[in-house]
Amino acid sequence: MALTITCPICDKRNGYEFRYGGVDKGPRPDEEGLTPTSWCDHVHMNKCVAGIQKEWWFHRDGCGAWFTIYRDTTTNLEVDKPEAN
């Protein structure tokens, strides 16, 4: 099944209207005590979760909004926010 994504402004749309913005890694790390290695890890290293992850998406062909959704990477389907989060 093709990926559909729920934009907070335009509602559910075809996934091809959107640009993937990467995994949501949480807030930027504190600069105090930040080493080049830990910054490099924050920027470049991904967990590559097989399951549900929080992601950024950009509604490129629509309203231009940036927002997050939860997607199950094993089924490539958008899912509700997991209760643990």
Partner 1 sequence: MKNIIRRSPVSFDSRPAKTEMRDNWTVALEYEAEETGPYLIDLSHRARWDFQDVDISKIQTWGMNVPESPGQCLFENGIIINRMNRTQVSIWHLSGAKPDVPDNPAFTDVTDTTVFLALFSKDIFSITEKLTSLYFLDPLKETPFLLQGPFSHIPCQIVTLEKIPERSGILFTCSRGYARDIIASILEAGAEFGLRPAGENVLIKWLNELWG
Calpha distance 74→41 (Å, rounded): 24
Q: Hey, what amino acid is at 30?
A: D
C-beta neighbour count of 6 within 10 angstroms: 12
Which residue in 60, 66, 74, 82 binds partner 1 (CB under 8 A)? Answer: 60
Count of residues touching partner 1 (by CB under 8 A): 12
Coil, helix or strand for 17?
helix
Q: How far is the CB of 6 from partner 1 (least distance, A)?
A: 14
When the beta carbons of 39 and 66 are compared against partner 1, the nearer one is 66
45 lies in the site for partner 1, by CB under 8 A: no
